[in-house]
Amino acid sequence: MSATKKTTGYQSEFTQFLNEFKEHHPTTEAEQRAGRARLWDQAPVDLDTQERLKASRVKQNSYVYQNH
């Protein structure tokens, strides 16, 4: 038996569930890719903007509900 030969005998219940789910919901993978792009694939922030945002932050008190 060669190392590149793929056996197709056994499939776990989870693999069967995923295959069936993908058949009934074909847009799932595209939606996952869109979600990943929205969260992780963002344009980098330039250093000037990053420095300006850091300088404009107001320091918060250690206990925010303290009045004095």
| pLDDT-derived band at 14, boundaries 50, 70, 90 | very high
User: What is the average pLDDT across 23-46?
Assistant: 90
For 19, 29, 61, the CA distances from 7, given in Å and listed in that order, are 17, 25, 62
| Predicted model pTM | 0.45
pLDDT of residue 4: 60
Please tell me the least confidently modeled range out of 5-9, 22-26, 39-43, 53-57.
5-9
Instruction: Say how far apart CA 24 and CA 63 lie, in whole Å.
Output: 51
Per-residue model confidence as pLDDT tens digits over 36-66: 988 888 888 789 988 998 999 988 777 777 7
